[in-house]
Structure formats: C-alpha cells, structure tokens
Amino acid sequence: MSDAPSRADVRETYETIGSHFSKTREYAWPEVESFVEDRCRGGVALDVGCGNGRHAELLADCADHVVGLDASRELLAAARDRLAACPATTLLQSDAATLPLADDCADLAVYVATIHHLPRRTDRRDSLDELARVLAPDGRALVSAWSTAHNRFDASADAERGFDTTVDWTLPGGRTVPRFYHIYAPTEFERDVAASDLALELLEISSGNCYAVVRPEGKRP
Amino acid sequence: MKEDLMDIICCPLDKHDLDLEVDERDDEEVLAGSLVCTECGESYPIEDGIPNLLPPDMREDAPA
C-alpha cells in the first residue's frame, strides 16, 4: 500500500460495510470468553472496538457497568440492538487512540481485533498507552491482534516485523471494500506492548491472533 | 446515554470534564443533546442516545 489511510478513513470503511460485517460476527471468541470468565468480578468493564457488541454482551453478565466503544456508528447501531436486553451497558462512538474516559475508571477491558485497524504505529502505541491510562491500578485487559502466524499469510511467524495490507470485504451484490490491516509479527506485538504504559502478563498465539493479558505499569493499587 | 456515565467520560482531546446539555431524554437515558468540554469548549453531539466522542478530525463532517 502506498498511502496508509487515516483513522477517519478506517471509520468510513466500517460505516459502509458495518451492517453486513456485523451479521458475520455473531459469536464471541473462546479466548475472550475464558479471559472474561476468569477475571470479570463486577465493576466497570470496557470493550474497546466493540463492533456489534458480541464481547460487551459477555461482559454484561458479570460487570456492574459495561462501556462499549467503537469508531463506527453503523456498528454501534448493531451493538445497540444486540445489547437491548443488557440495561447496564453504554455505547460511545470514539477512537481507540484518544479514549474519552477518565483515568483509572475501568476494572477490566477487552481490546480485541481492533488495534490492527489503526494505520500508523504511533496510533497503535497511543492506543495501548490510553488503555493503560484508563485501567484501574489493579485492572486487567486482554489485547488481541491479527498476526503473521495466521495461515492465510505467507509471512513467517518468526519475522521481526509485520506488514500493512488490505483485505477486501465483499458486500452482498458483489461490491468490494478494501479494509486496512496491520498484521503483527508476534515479536513486534510483544515489543509494542512492552514499550507502552502496559505491563505484559501473558502472551499467547491462538487461531492466528496474538493475545496479551496486560495490566497498567507503575500504578499502585 | 445514561447520566451516571458522566462520572467516567471526559474530553478525548484534553481529558477534562464534560458538561451535559440535554435536548431530549426518556425515563432511562439522554437521547439527544451535547457534551461540552469544560476546558477547551469542544462540543460533542449525542445522537440517537449515543454520544459522538470522536476527536473532531475523525467526524463525518470533518474536512478531508
């Protein structure tokens, strides 16, 4: 790709495909289910990049209040429908790299399959610092990104760096919409997390995604 | 948007508190209105009950 899109461009993409995309994202991921089951004990839980709300729905079963954030209003509209039966849930249209949330407000967060949509490395790093800022001192988050370990990519999972690419989304009727991705090399993902204000507790590769369990670094509970 | 959320939301740009201006509400939540930063004065619309707290340069009407 010659010119990386802006975060506004990425938001536009999901305004275009959101309704159709949402229908193909019905089920929570098992890796997210087990993180939430193990750690969600009331309090405020965030779903950053909530899409249609499939993971916010999991959090709503165990948190006192869930905040779902997404850049795309189309996806938030789908989330509102899905979460209509979950009263302690709030949706915010927002950007992962500039979170509209107070410091230390969240006991738990999931930031799943979202960071790879941020076009620039500085945006991705900012989003990790923002996550650290809003987590309570004893809060935990699960961060996931699509990785070179996925078998659809030719790149070696051992590469030092990932790469930028576009993956076409085909709408009903055949129109294709290009979607930006930064595909992380696992070591690069680990480096970006380590360089942020988050401390890494656990790193796993599962189903072609990197998963990191993180806590804010240097905050005293 | 539920009003108790005011405790945890802030301006995405400078992280200062927001003032809530309500245009329309029902029993449970604010359906339309705006959130105005007490520091920088930026106004964030609430539409269909969902606040738009994107930084202004990412909004629909932002100049390209």
What is the predicted pLDDT for the residue at A41?
A: 87
As a whole number of angstroms, the distance between CA A86 and CA A161 comes to 40
Using 50, 70 and 90 to split pLDDT, how confident is the model at A30?
A: confident
Following DSSP, what letter does each residue of chain A receive, concatenated?
Answer: --SPPPHHHHHHHHHHHHHHHHHT--S--HHHHHHHHHH--SSEEEEET-TTSHHHHHHHTT-SEEEEEES-HHHHHHHHHHTTT-TTEEEEE-BTTB--B-TT-EEEEEE-S-GGG--SHHHHHHHHHHHHHHEEEEEEEEEEEEBTTSTT--S-TT-SS-EEEEEEEEPTTS-EEEEEEEEBPHHHHHHHHHHTTEEEEEEEEETTEEEEEEEETT---
**pLDDT greater than 70 at residue A115:** yes
Q: Which of A93, A120, A131, A134 to mutate to test the interface with B (most CBs of B within 10 A)?
A: A93
Predicted confidence at residue A1, as pLDDT, reads 43
pLDDT at A64 exceeding the cut of 80:
yes
DSSP letter (8 states) at residue B13: T
Q: Domain coordinates of chain B in residue numbers?
A: 3-52
- Residue A77, pLDDT > 70, answer yes
Distances in Å between the alpha carbon of A10 and those of A3, A4, A94? 13, 10, 13
Return residues 189-218 of A near B (CB < 8 Å): none
Tell me the average pLDDT across B14-21.
97
The nearest CA of chain A is from the CA of B33 a distance in Å of 14
Question: Can you tell me whether residue B5 is helix, strand or coil?
Answer: helix
Residues from chain A that touch B11, judged by Cβ atoms under 8 A, are 100
> Would an 8 Å CB–CB cutoff place A91 in contact with chain B?
yes
Q: A-chain residues within 8 Å CB-CB of B58?
A: 6-8, 11, 71, 95
Give the type of residue at A25.
R
CA distance A157 to chain B (A): 33
The rounded mean pLDDT for chain A is 89
Quote the pLDDT of residue A158.
74
Q: What are phi and psi of A106, to 5 degrees?
A: -115, 135
For residue range A134-172, what is the model confidence (pLDDT) as tens digits? 999 999 999 999 888 777 777 776 778 888 888 887 888
CB B41 within 8 A of CB A54: no
Tell me the count of A-B CB pairs closer than 8 A. Answer: 64
For residue B4, list chain A residues with Cβ-Cβ distance below 8 A: 65
